[in-house]
Structure 1
């Protein structure tokens, strides 16, 4: 059908007898998911770096992982002197995927590299989640989902607690959960498959992905995936980890009562009742799904949280039960994806106004819960004056640590260790090797220190909100060992400032 000039003018085209002006050129807008990833990366990296500069990071675990990644970057076995003499970290947890961080560390050999890489991994997981929310629920809803994930307490706790291998799993789980929700079964399996190289228990999460695929999609693909995931965890726990651990066996089996058949059976049998008690375990189970206003429980994707929650609730280690540390990081992308999956049936084509109001109210509730929890977790540090103030104690520590030459062997306090692991061989004061409990049991004392330098911090800095003070050794024990190093092992004081003592084996160099 022909369109005449005056009709084109009426329809919004050019007017008769005129040459249309060229449209103004504008920059394409940054896609919403990547804009959120950039904002979250800035938040996570800022809080992580500031904590390190304030001496709030630790040898356990930032220093340990830096030693392993530094070894990978130098094409060596991932040995960690902080964990023990000639200790292969692959015997502690099975995480060969950590080698992927080594090229970045080679370019920037610093603990800050690990913290920034972790921040990027946690932040980029928002991209598949916000993208799915954008197409399934709309633009405003996508903003809400991105905030629910990005500001969730599980991600905040991980971003502010040193570095851990599970950061590699977070974006993979986000992509896999989204693919499951969209019915892209093969993509879901492919995204989840590398989990078996990140940590030994994540093979069970891959098995859970397979279970969802078998339930909702191709049964054969799902069953094969579930079997492969369970087999991978079994091989890693029963064969690979014992073969690589210096003492043999699975180091963390004791947390599940390994070695005590009766204890493990009792724990498993009474776990459901135990989880119903009004204690820290029940609180954790509720808080895991709280960022979704519990709506994620309505989605089949919630099944992906079962393996991680199961081993944590069955564990005899109290650190595993609460909201601290990094243990909930792998759960948060699944919870966010479950929230989208639970709400998307209400936003189909031609959804009635009541359904739209339901989605908006649900997302408002989820976002409200997330914001209410926010002040209780580490991202709130960004609004605290102490985070941005100059720390005289940290400056004193850096001045003393600068007196230790590169390549030296140093026994350091837990919070001083990661300040040195990029350039020295660091062990944890007061023991070398650090896993000297058997020696103490047999001989009644720790072995004598063998490091050239000792740097000890008597100060108990504030941490958020756990592992404060002098963990893992009591302050009294550390003071006694420090005095013993002077008295019996030939160490002389080089400097002392603001509670930090620097000793060196050999002639006295004078106080500073």
Structure 2
């Protein structure tokens, strides 16, 4: 008779609820988050806080796709094909929607929907693995995370397409559905050129935890896809014949060997980089670092921290959106592993961890864009806004307009827009000081000398300094043949006579 063996009691594992309640929970969160993100995005546009760089740029590209044309974007330059800037042909899937509703709001709402839908696989996975209460915490942690909030509140960007794709892929990895994970992650090759490296990280994880051959093939496809996009496709479409963002990853120390040797230190200097690395994993209370899934964030973090572009180092803009599904997936995976470990304190540890996630998320909320909804200025229409809307309405449809950065997306759906003071030109030359320059041919100019409120950089003036803009505005009136149609509250509307 076999001897009796003592066994360590296992912590109770939550039973997965029925499929329909789990789906209702996940999609209910998606609907709520969509309304939240859409409110922020639409209100920003109404307050003239969206910009030509980047909402206007992407609208011109999608508008071209909607009319079966190449994505030539006047805001980026004459005959500039946007596929020569970043390789993102997948944004063409928005063309049918834009054809039905030609408005910048179409792109903003589509982005809000994509960011919101990414909560579905994460919440669904959390329900199965940890229970309903934990799923609500995960959904809240993702939906209110600063990386998603920053993306939802800054124009439109192609990475919004990658967020749900990666979220569904991560759920499949967590449930060991390897082929499903590859199927969800593979389209990221068409979202942005660097996401091939993220696909390679997915492949490496599969090779480590699952079918080795499938993982190796996936990793190779990701690396090859990024290499082809960067070395061949982007230079082919770019008017300059090169990779527009290659200088961001230049050999900072004079040689490739020295650059690689200093990479670990460069990834942490200046201090803002180390702070960002901590904040990336903060929505999971740093628990995601205990999951191997967090390694999938390494490619994105690596190129950002090693970039020469200071905008890549911080927490503003859209650069961290694709990292948030990885962080929350790592949280689910780490807590699931602990809960099923048989440790007598597992259930208590999971509850404490989820409470910490809620606390961290709530503490960080006021510092990031979702807090704008609680600000009085967000719901107040100023005299300046009324003046801008009044003057914008005086510009007829179908004309060419040189506009200030934050006025440009108010016109891109109905006019051909360039950023003032870069405008279409004709062959004849005019005298400007001692220079002979091409004569501008934009039919209208609308310029706002005031920068927008509550913005991390002066988007109303960028990419040209205020002094240059004012000088060009004066030259337009004195030398270029433009007459002032109206001028109100710092906004000037001119028409070519």
TM-score by length of 1: 0.89
State the partner residue of 1:280: 272
Distance of 1:265 and 1:115 partners within structure 2: 43
Distance of 2:319 and 2:255 partners within structure 1: 23
Gaps of 5+ in 1: 1-26, 435-442, 507-512
Query: Is 1:367 aligned to residue 358 of structure 2?
Result: yes
- Larger of the two Rg values belongs to structure: 1
Distance of 1:431 and 1:206 partners within structure 2: 38
Distance 1:213 1:283, change over 3 A: same
Question: Which of the residues 160, 169, 189 maps onto 1:167?
Answer: 160
SS in 1 for 2:221: helix
Distance of 1:428 and 1:57 partners within structure 2: 14
Question: Which of the residues 372, 389, 401 maps onto 2:380?
Answer: 389
Distance of 1:286 and 1:255 partners within structure 2: 23
SS in 1 for 2:442: coil
Query: Is 1:412 aligned to residue 403 of structure 2?
Result: yes
SS in 1 for 2:267: helix
Shift, 1:469, TM fit: 4.6
Distance of 2:258 and 2:201 partners within structure 1: 24
Gaps of 5+ in 2: 1-19, 426-433
1:427-506 equivalences in 2 (<5 Å): 427-432=418-423, 448-506=439-497
Question: Which of the residues 293, 297, 307 maps onto 1:305?
Answer: 297
Distance of 1:136 and 1:121 partners within structure 2: 24
Shift, 1:256, TM fit: 0.7
Distance of 2:318 and 2:217 partners within structure 1: 30
Distance of 1:446 and 1:477 partners within structure 2: 15
Number of residues paired by the alignment?
A: 470
Contact 1:407 1:425 in 2 (8 A): yes
Distance of 1:457 and 1:54 partners within structure 2: 14
Alignment deviations for residues 204-232 of structure 1 (CA, whole Å, 9 cap, x no partner)? 11000000000000000000000000000
Alignment deviations for residues 472-504 of structure 1 (CA, whole Å, 9 cap, x no partner)? 211111100100111111011001111100011
State the partner residue of 1:315: 307
Distance of 2:442 and 2:257 partners within structure 1: 44
Contact 1:80 1:89 in 2 (8 A): yes
Shift, 1:267, TM fit: 3.5
Alignment deviations for residues 188-215 of structure 1 (CA, whole Å, 9 cap, x no partner)? 1110000000000001110000000000
Contact 1:409 1:425 in 2 (8 A): yes
1:53-452 equivalences in 2 (<5 Å): 53-257=46-250, 262=254, 265-277=257-269, 279-348=271-340, 354-432=345-423, 448-452=439-443
TM-score by length of 2: 0.91
Distance 1:263 1:375, change over 3 A: farther
Alignment deviations for residues 213-267 of structure 1 (CA, whole Å, 9 cap, x no partner)? 0000000000000000000000000000000001110000011117x78265444
Contact 2:405 2:460 in 1 (8 A): no
